[in-house]
Amino acid sequence: MTQKDLADLIFPNIAKTIDDYEKIYPERKLAEGAMVTRFAPSPTGFVHMGSLLASFISSKAAKDTNGVFYLRIEDTDQKREVENGIEGIVNDLKNFKIDIDEGALSRTESLGNYGPYIQSERKEIYHAFIKNLIERGLAYPCFCSEKHLEEIRQMQEATKSRIGYYGRYAVCRNIKIEEAYNRIKNGEKYIIRLKSPGDFEKKIIVNDLVKGKIEFPENDLDIVIMKSDGLPTYHFAHLVDDHLMRTTHVTRGDEWVSSLPIHIQLFQVFGFNPPKYAHLSPIMKQEGDTKRKLSKRKDPEAAMSYYTKLGIPIQAVHLYLMTIANTNFEQWYDQNKDKSIDDFKFDFRKISASGSLFDLEKLINISRNYISYLKAEEVYDNVLYWAKEYDKQLYELISKYKEYTINIFSIERYQKKPRKDYESWSSIKKNIWYMYDELFNDVTYNYQKIVDPDEIKNILNTYIEKYYNETDDKDTWFNKIKQLTEELGYSSNMKEYKENPEKYKGSVADISTVIRVAITSSNMTPDLYEIMKILKEQRIKERIKKAIISC
RNA sequence: GGCCCGUUGGUGAAGUGGUUCAACACACAUGCCUUUCACGCAUGCAUUCAUGGGUUCAAAUCCCGUACGGGUCACCA
């Protein structure tokens, strides 16, 4: 009896060989330096920040080099799968404008010639590779029960030995072919393990794209490559898939670095070239005075939905991810404000080796800047789209007054340094609500410095009757406010007022504030002249009247 | 416990042996500008690169130890 007999017993219906697969999935014909990258999540529903960063980097690297970025679904652990998990992932990527060139689109649809892109559909491919290993005596069935494995572990712990299935602990490694054959024939449960050719005393060096050179002992663990359900483990699927899909660069979380010796060994056993690896440190979160990994479970900001709900533009999230991804990006962008991320050349060597702290404040700042450079129409479209989902009242209002709203968004926008009032689509309402009569009902007025109702009435009355004129240009408008100021015994010159405040009842600032508050109820607004231009004569008069009455 | 990685200001970080070695950005503080708020501008914010040794004429940068943080050691990915 030979290894071949054993292999045939375990995998009786394997039609294709490794060589066949090599032909079916040939080397990709891409330009020199083109990278083939992938995002390979489990279908657990949604993509969190860390994975998004990894997929963002992968897709950017592929795009920069005219390569291929694909999506592969890693569903070899069926317990993890969530209903519509694939759709959730595809959706998140789509929402975040990370385009895939190939890969799964849903359970039934996909794109590209290197599929299937869902691991559970690749079973026979894995089996062909495993069968090959068994034939060559490089893999064997293991009959150890979980209980027995647990006993081994406890013994190893007790004797302070290295933990794992290796050397003299790997009892099934030495089972005779005949015995294995018969036990399988008798229906005994088993898994397949790699017969590791590694030596723990020897070292291997891996050059990680972000961590640099890392030295490990060789892997000598007889790792499981096929589980009792017939599906491969992650390690083995990684080998087969990334080889057959011709992946050149694997970007993943650094929880995988300790598996590197296993992965390198797997590639060696088949004589394949391993891909280049980039292991990303996790995104951290400050909690008290300790840092911890940003958690999908505990931290709402780890989910993409958090940002769509908040109305942070996805471009801002991209910008933020890029500043985390490449440490030289921020400066580049600062000097190339007119360019987009697409013009920036991503570099694996510029990824920080230590985990960065997630900084929402910085994200918001980026968002604020980003929004400030949009056209008013773009702001409008975005707010409309956002409000449709999250703020019905706002949606109706701005739909009804489209031109008017765009005018509001235009205030102090088209200048060298636009205002940065808006940090997200959801925050805009608090900046513009007073422009809509529908919302301008039960307002309260806080006139700041001037509190005497008669004085306020007097200011307002005098202004509206004597000085206000709709057609005034800005200079005239302000000169008239200055005239009003002087007429009432206030100082129209701020410098002068600051030098001798006791000589006046107040300043032009105080008068302006009264008018501003009367019209908007807020003492913090953009340029009052612009606001009044948009509001127009009739409504200004109404509002001033309303303010006077409420004194 | 074994193996591996990391540690520069409140934050993201630049900088891998020596021409400002502590950039730049966010945040913060103060001042200026100013009809409010923002914007903008100016200034300030690590005598020091977790820590102790060592190599060197010279180290944040190289080596060793220690501390702290993280990862991993599944028929999970």
Q: What is the pLDDT of residues A335-362, one digit of tens each?
A: 777 788 888 888 888 888 877 778 787 8
Nearest to A174 by CA among A144, A214, A199: A144
Residue A41 pLDDT greater than 70, yes or no: yes
Question: Greater confidence, A419 or A275?
Answer: A275
Q: Which nucleotide is nearest, taking the CA of residue A482 and each C1'?
A: B35
Average pLDDT of the residues in A267-286: 90
Residue closest to B24, CA→C1'? A331
Q: Is the CB of A512 under 7 A from strand B?
A: yes
Question: Greater confidence, A59 or A294?
Answer: A59
pLDDT of residue A228: 93
Residue A236 pLDDT greater than 90, yes or no: yes
Question: Greater confidence, A324 or A176?
Answer: A176
Q: Residue A288 — very low, low, confident or very high, per pLDDT cuts 50/70/90?
A: low
Rg (CA), chain A: 34
Q: Which nucleotide is nearest, taking the CA of residue A334 and each C1'?
A: B25
In CATH, A453-549 is 1.10.10.350: yes
The whole-number Å distance from A77's CA to B75's C1' is 10
Nearest to A237 by CA among A25, A16, A20, A73: A73
pLDDT of residue A489: 86
Nearest to A488 by CA among A455, A445, A447: A455
Query: On chain B, which bases lie within 7 A of the protein's CB atoms?
Result: 1-8, 11-15, 23-27, 33-40, 69-77
Q: Which nucleotide is nearest, taking the CA of residue A161 and each C1'?
A: B2
Q: Is the CB of A215 under 7 A from strand B?
A: yes
Burial class (CB in 10 A: 0-12, 13-18, 19+), A331: exposed
Give the span between the Cα atoms of A336 and A422, in whole angstroms.
22
Give the span between the Cα atoms of A279 and A254, in whole angstroms.
5
Alpha carbon A488 to chain centroid distance?
Answer: 57
- What CA–CA distances, in Å, run from A466 to A140, A165, A458, A528? 98, 93, 11, 18
Average pLDDT of the residues in A276-295: 79
Q: What is the ipTM of this complex?
A: 0.86
Question: Greater confidence, A73 or A323?
Answer: A73
Q: Is the CB of A492 under 7 A from strand B?
A: no
Average pLDDT of the residues in A456-475: 87
| E strand segments, A209-247 | 212-217, 224-226
Q: Which nucleotide is nearest, taking the CA of residue A485 and each C1'?
A: B35
pLDDT of residue A473: 87
pLDDT of residue A399: 94
The whole-number Å distance from A494's CA to B32's C1' is 14
Q: Residue A289 — very low, low, confident or very high, per pLDDT cuts 50/70/90?
A: low
Q: Which 258-297 residues of chain A approach strand B with CB closer than 7 Å?
A: 258-259, 281-282, 284, 286, 290-293
Q: Which nucleotide is nearest, taking the CA of residue A359 and each C1'?
A: B11
Q: Is the CB of A523 under 7 A from strand B?
A: yes
Residues ≥6 apart with Cβ < 8 Å to A273: A267
Q: Which 99-158 residues of chain A approach strand B with CB closer than 7 Å?
A: 144-146, 149, 153
Q: Is the CB of A464 under 7 A from strand B?
A: no
- In what side-by-side order are the strands of the sheet with A36-39? A110-111, A102-104, A68-71, A36-39, A249-253, A276-280
Is A200 within 8 Å of A217 (Cβ atoms)? yes
CATH architecture of the domain A5-9+124-280 equals 3-Layer(aba) Sandwich (3.40)
Which residue intervals of chain A bear CATH 1.10.10.350? 453-549
Q: Which 18-77 residues of chain A approach strand B with CB closer than 7 Å?
A: 40-42, 74, 76-77
Q: Which nucleotide is nearest, taking the CA of residue A162 and each C1'?
A: B2
Residue A74 pLDDT greater than 70, yes or no: yes
Give the span between the Cα atoms of A294 and A324, in whole angstroms.
14
- Sign of the Cα torsion A524, A526, A527, A528 reads negative
Q: Residue A286 — very low, low, confident or very high, per pLDDT cuts 50/70/90?
A: confident
Q: Is the CB of A356 under 7 A from strand B?
A: yes
Q: Which two tokens stand for residue A484?
A: 């009003």
Q: Which nucleotide is nearest, taking the CA of residue A253 and each C1'?
A: B71
Backbone angles phi, psi at A171, to 5 degrees: -65, -40
A153-162, A319-328, A399-408: least confident range = A319-328
Helix and strand element counts for chain A (H, E)? 22, 13
Which residue intervals of chain A bear CATH 3.40.50.620? 5-9+124-280
Give the span between the Cα atoms of A250 and A277, in whole angstroms.
5
Backbone angles phi, psi at A300, to 5 degrees: -60, -30
Residues ≥6 apart with Cβ < 8 Å to A23: none
Task: State the CB neighbour count (10 A cutoff) for residue A255.
Answer: 12
Instruction: Give the HSE-up count for residue A494: Cα atoms under 13 Å, Cβ half-sphere.
Output: 5
The whole-number Å distance from A162's CA to B3's C1' is 10
pLDDT of residue A181: 94
Q: Which nucleotide is nearest, taking the CA of residue A331 and each C1'?
A: B24
Q: Residue A179 — very low, low, confident or very high, per pLDDT cuts 50/70/90?
A: very high
Q: Is the CB of A347 under 7 A from strand B?
A: no
Give the span between the Cα atoms of A115 and A72, in whole angstroms.
9
Q: Is the CB of A14 under 7 A from strand B?
A: no
- What CA–CA distances, in Å, run from A514 to A127, A435, A474? 80, 17, 18
Q: Which nucleotide is nearest, taking the CA of residue A290 and each C1'?
A: B69
pLDDT of residue A321: 87
pLDDT of residue A69: 96
**pTM, full prediction:** 0.87
A21-35, A136-150, A276-290: least confident range = A276-290
Looking at residue A170, its amino acid is A
**What average pLDDT does the structure give for chain A?**
89
Residue A298 pLDDT greater than 80, yes or no: no
Average pLDDT of the residues in A434-452: 84
Question: From its phi and psi, is residue A346 left (phi > 0), alpha (psi between -120 and 50) or beta?
Answer: beta
pLDDT of residue A244: 97
Q: Which residue has the tokens 């959706």?
A: A91
